[in-house]
Chains A and B, each alone.
Chain A
Amino acid sequence: MLKKSVVLLSVLTFFGVSGLAIFIRQTSAQSQTFDRRAMLENIGNNIILPLHESFLAQVAMLQTAAHAFRDAPTLENLEVMQQAWRDTDYLWKKVIMFDLGRLTFVYQSRIENDSPIAIQLIDTMINGTDPLDENSISVFGSNVIGLRTVEYLIFNPAEGNARIIDNFTAQPSAQRRMTYLMITVDDLYASADQIWQIWSPDYQNYVTEFIEADDPGSVQESIAMLTNQMLVTLEAVTNVSIGWPLGTVAGSIQPNLVQAPYSGYSVQQIRSFFEILRATYNGSTDAGNGLGFDDYLNAVGAMYNDVPLADAINMEIDHIFATLDAMTEPLDAVLINHPEQVQALYEECRDLVVIMKVDMTSQLGVTITFSDADGD
């Protein structure tokens, strides 16, 4: 009797355990677990690294162009330098989206920060007699150096390029102005190089840390961090680059608050940021479309009303590009001639903020790892 029940129990246990094992295997096989690490690898290796490499190379070209202008301050060399600045600024608007983890904004803030540059202080230093070297400038902090300072020195939409060359050659402070430009451009290169060294596999190799952070126990740290920085930058572009000139803070239109007032390059800057946002979101690179947030959202079946959330976000980004395409003048001119276009752009950006900050983050479960604080 006892034997029988033991045998019966063993058989039942065997079938029960096997059945459960098969069930788990089956359901596991059906599942298409999204490879988040592969997504980070794609973004890290195929987007972030090439971008930073290009940025450093571009700053080097700006530096070369500046040195050429110092040696021969001709109109041609000025124009080459101005174009090099535009190309640098264009890439910079992409680089800023990856101010992540170990980068901690130290070097970024030397290239550009939110506050306007201190024009009076820059002029005072150029026109003064105090010794002018990198130490004397750095004590005044990041508002007298960086990309915006170079822009101020080498663009003059009101008086034209002849005036700029005159400032650098004939004016009493010409020599000091040239020195100031060289110090600023060299500092730009130093900062860009520091940022590159942090990311580069040949130096501090942060890119591997970024990819590896998606290990067990880290609660998808890198994805949360990247999402966070995408949103921080998107909100900064929305509120500062577009909102401030539109007068959201001042209460009336402020064309002087556009981000690149001297070069007339603000629209391209905004465009550049949305290009990198779209590329990172879709995981798309020059080589093709790799794994990105869109694939992640599709893998978890995220819907936005009746549309896949991944597509809804791309549609919002498309709207922004369409509005940017319609802007044919510098942003300060658009603000005066077609303020409705800037208003539309601002509202489309806010729509994108909502769908990414609210819908995307909650579908990816990154909201609870978002802040440096405990939950519930």
Chain B
Amino acid sequence: MATSLSQLVQRLRWHIERPTSILPLVVFRIGFGILMLVGTVRFVHNGWVGTFYIQPVFHFTYLGFGWVKPLPAPAIYLVFAALALFSIFIAVGLFYRVSAVAFFILFTYVELLDQAFYLNHYYLVSLLSFLLIFLPAHRKWSLDSLRRPALRTDVIPAWAIDALRLQIGIVYVLAGIAKLNADWLFSAMPLTIWLRANTDFPLIGSLFDQRWVAYLFSWGGALYDLTIPFFLLWRKTRFLALVTVVVFHIMTEMLFPIGMFPWIMIVSSFIFLDEVDYRVIVRVLRLPVFIASLENSLSMPTTSRAALIFVPFFILQLLLPMRFLLYPGNVLWSEEGFRFSWRVMLVEKAGAVTFFVRDPASGRQWTVNPGDYLTRVQEAQMSFQPDMILQFAHFLADRFRQQEYTDVEVRAEAYVSFNGRASRLLIAPTVDLAREPITIFHKPWILP
């Protein structure tokens, strides 16, 4: 027994430490750096630094991260300038470790500022940049390796690439599992709504108001997510899978305003190529690149103990998306356990919420239109997310407390439409939200 276990550990160890070409990792590093530079410049260019982090008088914070506050202008712009700089450093492989650490910290800082602006792909960027900190991605085709030739290597232990593959695989497969719900499979929702709003899509748009097309896209999308990492892993299907990835994501980019996400997924899928694939590419494209063979590369960086951090990291990655099972009800409606779970493009939701503040002592009542305090994006996001409605109710109670009303009650009337259903109340309109605690536990006032 003991022998077989130790054999297993040994085999696992051999597997994750087997020598492999550094090329996929280096290509990923360069692609990631360039994309992050483009993403940062685009963010600033669109004026989002101002509308997301300077204009709002109130920010929806993440539980436990209420202390993370936006820097005032112009300092907040320096954060974005630094993000752009470190993106370049990552792409060219200069001061790589420091740059990766700085990029991860700054990017995650920005993401923690306001959960109204949560996007799955921002979360993915945080995770990928965290992984990069520990990966030897600067040991080829980098300024660091020019400065310090000792760094240079063509071979690295396989875990350095497998970690990224695992991360991308988790995103796909969990996004696929999340699609296995009744709305997606049996009502083709929300794709039915989104596709029929795009009937002017080139070539095939005229078919988009056909129900069967929405079903085809729904089932096809689920199948794609569930299988694509495996087809990318398998050499025989890899090329076709790569073409599918490009076509699929360019199509989503044209259909939906999902920003950088498709490009991140396209660039990430190149991590699945290996040394043999790169040889083919170099030969076909006649690139003046020399690819060393693994056999001729004698030295390989040893595995640092720091890499052990990947074990809890990936366990957490698998557990977080499953936490919705701890809450009653439909996660897509209640959004309890919704974030950080790769529930991508799963719901079409719109909401309208009005708050009522009452001072029991005087009997006076006020109606609060959240638009008076929140930006459009913040208001729209809050309108269908109970935890954000609760945060805003606490904010209102504080505002009234600062005046002469020490003990106000705050109620909310929130109507939400979900995947094409008629609007209905999201939370109990009689509950005094000012008295409801902000916790991770189930909120019993969310209506089923």
Using a CB–CB cutoff of 8 Å, the interface residues on chain A facing chain B are 24, 27-28, 31, 33-34, 36, 214-217, 219-220, 235, 239, 243, 248-252, 300, 302-305, 309, 350, 353-355, 357-359, 361-376
8 A-B pairs closest in CB distance: A365-B197, A374-B259, A248-B367, A251-B364, A358-B423, A362-B350, A362-B417, A371-B377
A259 to B231, CA, bound (A): 65
Complex contact A243–B367 (CB within 8 A): yes
Q: Which residues of B contact A34 (CB under 8 A)?
A: 199, 209
Cβ of B353 to closest chain A Cβ, rounded Å = 10
Which parts of B191-221 form the interface with A (CB within 8 Å)?
193-194, 196-202, 205-207, 209-210, 212
A108 to B257, CA, bound (A): 30
Does B349 make an interface contact (CB < 8 A)? yes
Complex contact A24–B365 (CB within 8 A): no
Complex contact A375–B199 (CB within 8 A): no
Complex contact B380–A367 (CB within 8 A): yes
- Cβ-defined partner of A252 (8 Å) among B258, B364, B367, B415: B364
A90 to B238, CA, bound (A): 66
A309 to B423, CA, bound (A): 11
Q: Which residues of A contact B143 (CB under 8 A)?
A: none
Cβ of A311 to closest chain B Cβ, rounded Å = 13
Complex contact A372–B46 (CB within 8 A): yes
Q: Which residues of A contact B350 (CB under 8 A)?
A: 357-359, 361-362, 367
A169 to B409, CA, bound (A): 55
Complex contact A350–B423 (CB within 8 A): no
Cβ of A241 to closest chain B Cβ, rounded Å = 13
Using a CB–CB cutoff of 8 Å, the interface residues on chain B facing chain A are 46-48, 51-52, 117, 119-121, 193-194, 196-202, 205-207, 209-210, 212, 254-261, 344-345, 348-352, 354, 359, 364-369, 371, 376-377, 380, 415-417, 420, 422-423
Cβ of A235 to closest chain B Cβ, rounded Å = 7
Q: Which residues of A contact B417 (CB under 8 A)?
A: 358-359, 362-363
Q: List 7 A-B contacts (CB under 8 A).
A: A31-B206, A33-B206, A34-B199, A365-B193, A365-B348, A368-B348, A372-B376
Given A243-B369, A375-B256, do A365 and B349 touch, yes or no (CB 8 Å)? no
Given A216-B202, A359-B422, do A249 and B367 touch, yes or no (CB 8 Å)? yes
A43 to B117, CA, bound (A): 34
Q: Which residues of B contact A300 (CB under 8 A)?
A: 193, 196, 209
- Cβ-defined partner of A358 (8 Å) among B200, B345, B369, B416: B416
Cβ of B126 to closest chain A Cβ, rounded Å = 16
Cβ of B414 to closest chain A Cβ, rounded Å = 10
Given A235-B371, A371-B380, do A357 and B352 touch, yes or no (CB 8 Å)? yes
Cβ of B103 to closest chain A Cβ, rounded Å = 20
Q: Which residue of B lies closest to A249 (CB)?
A: B366
- Cβ-defined partner of A359 (8 Å) among B47, B52, B423: B423
Complex contact A370–B380 (CB within 8 A): yes
A363 to B259, CA, bound (A): 23
Which residue of B47, B196, B377 has the most chain A CB atoms within 10 A of its CB atom?
Answer: B196
- Cβ-defined partner of B344 (8 Å) among A354, A371, A376: A376
Q: Which residue of B lies closest to A302 (CB)?
A: B420
A207 to B52, CA, bound (A): 31
A87 to B344, CA, bound (A): 51
Complex contact A362–B206 (CB within 8 A): no
A235 to B372, CA, bound (A): 11
Complex contact A27–B212 (CB within 8 A): yes
Q: Which residues of B contact A303 (CB under 8 A)?
A: 422
Given A33-B206, A248-B367, A249-B367, do A367 and B349 touch, yes or no (CB 8 Å)? yes
Cβ of B193 to closest chain A Cβ, rounded Å = 5
A214 to B422, CA, bound (A): 27
Complex contact A376–B258 (CB within 8 A): yes
Q: Which residues of B contact A36 (CB under 8 A)?
A: 199-200
Q: Which residues of A contact B420 (CB under 8 A)?
A: 302, 362-363
Complex contact B371–A304 (CB within 8 A): no
Q: Which residues of A contact B371 (CB under 8 A)?
A: 235, 239
Complex contact A31–B194 (CB within 8 A): no
Q: Which residues of B contact A219 (CB under 8 A)?
A: 197-198, 255, 257
- Cβ-defined partner of B369 (8 Å) among A235, A305, A371: A235
Given contacts A362-B420, A373-B48, list 20 more A-B pairs with CB under 8 A: A27-B212, A28-B210, A214-B200, A216-B201, A216-B205, A217-B202, A219-B255, A235-B369, A249-B367, A300-B193, A304-B422, A354-B423, A359-B350, A363-B193, A363-B417, A370-B380, A372-B47, A372-B377, A375-B345, A376-B120
Q: Which residues of B contact A24 (CB under 8 A)?
A: 207
Complex contact A368–B194 (CB within 8 A): yes
Given A235-B371, A239-B369, A305-B422, do A354 and B197 touch, yes or no (CB 8 Å)? no
Q: Which residue of A lies closest to B116 (CB)?
A: A373
- Cβ-defined partner of A251 (8 Å) among B210, B345, B366, B423: B366
Q: Which residues of A contact B256 (CB under 8 A)?
A: 368, 375-376
Q: Which residues of B contact A28 (CB under 8 A)?
A: 206-207, 210
Q: Which residues of B contact A305 (CB under 8 A)?
A: 422
Complex contact A353–B210 (CB within 8 A): no
Given A251-B365, A362-B193, do A216 and B258 touch, yes or no (CB 8 Å)? no
Given A350-B354, A368-B256, do A358 and B415 touch, yes or no (CB 8 Å)? yes
A217 to B251, CA, bound (A): 11
Q: Which residues of A contact B351 (CB under 8 A)?
A: 358
A309 to B417, CA, bound (A): 13
A369 to B255, CA, bound (A): 11
Complex contact A374–B258 (CB within 8 A): yes
Complex contact A364–B197 (CB within 8 A): yes
Cβ of A349 to closest chain B Cβ, rounded Å = 11
Complex contact B376–A371 (CB within 8 A): yes
Complex contact A216–B200 (CB within 8 A): yes
Which residue of A28, A31, A361, A366 has the most chain B CB atoms within 10 A of its CB atom?
Answer: A31
Q: Which residue of A lies closest to B47 (CB)?
A: A372
Complex contact A367–B423 (CB within 8 A): no
Q: Which residues of A contact B202 (CB under 8 A)?
A: 216-217
A368 to B366, CA, bound (A): 31
A243 to B197, CA, bound (A): 34
Q: Which residues of B contact A243 (CB under 8 A)?
A: 367, 369
A226 to B45, CA, bound (A): 25
Cβ of A316 to closest chain B Cβ, rounded Å = 12
